[in-house]
Amino acid sequence: MKSEVKKKEVKTKMKKQLMSIMVIGIASLMLGAGTFALFSDTETSTGNTFTAGTLDIKVGGQDDGDTVWTFDETDMKPGTEGSHTFVVTNAGTIPGMLSIEVTDIVNLPGTTPEPEPTPDTGDLGAAIWVILFADFDEDGWIDDGEGIYVGYLDGLGGPYLVGQGVLPVDIVFYWSIHVDVGNEIMDDSVSFDIVFSLAQ
């Protein structure tokens, strides 16, 4: 009798456990089904792109290969002076910092006429006084904060960073030959390149 009672008790417990498992399973299924039945909405950001900007320096409105902004002074003598203004702009889409470098300075002796002392190695670059400045206020004069280089042409180099980095800007190249310079510069010549660069 006792064994039969125990068997019945065991069967009853097992039924209760099975029922509990079934209830949990059905509840889980209902919960899962309910999750997918909730309201939803989706938005998509389309057509996203990245585009690089440009830097495009122009001197006197021209690019490399044009000779509009070069200068050629002849018959120079003691006491003469002059200046050239380069208008530098950026035709690109992003701002940049301007720098200037003078390269390839070459002095030549020319024909060495009789009054000129020998040996003649070409002395003109050492006799030309240069003031290079950025004329931010466009008054034609060098003011505080506008100077780039002051000295003889032979000493020019760089690159020189142009102060405020604001374009467009007038770059003025002023030159003069002192009255005390003598025959040593007769028929001498000096050539050089001015490199204008724009960097982010």
**Mind listing the pLDDT tens digit for each residue in 105-162?**
999 999 988 888 889 889 999 999 999 999 999 998 999 889 999 999 999 999 999 9
As a whole number, mean pLDDT of residues 165-191 equals: 93
15 within some domain? yes
State whether 95 and 129 are in the same domain: yes
Q: Is the same domain home to 5 and 84?
A: no
- Residue 108 CA to residue 184 CA, distance in Å, equals 12
Overall domain count for the chain: 2
Cα–Cα distance measured from residue 21 to residue 13, given in angstroms and rounded to the nearest whole number: 12
CA-CA distance, 146 to 83, in Å (whole number)?
16
- Whether 116 is in a domain gets the answer yes
CA distance 53 to 57: 13
Query: Do 61 and 26 share a structural domain?
Result: no
Same domain, 68 and 35: no
Q: Which two tokens stand for residue 62?
A: 């021209």
Which residues have C-beta within 8 Å of that of residue 162, sequence separation ≥ 6? 97, 98, 99, 100, 134, 148, 169, 171
Residue 96 maps to a domain? yes
pLDDT (0 to 100) of residue 65: 61
| Domain shared by 21 and 113, yes or no | no
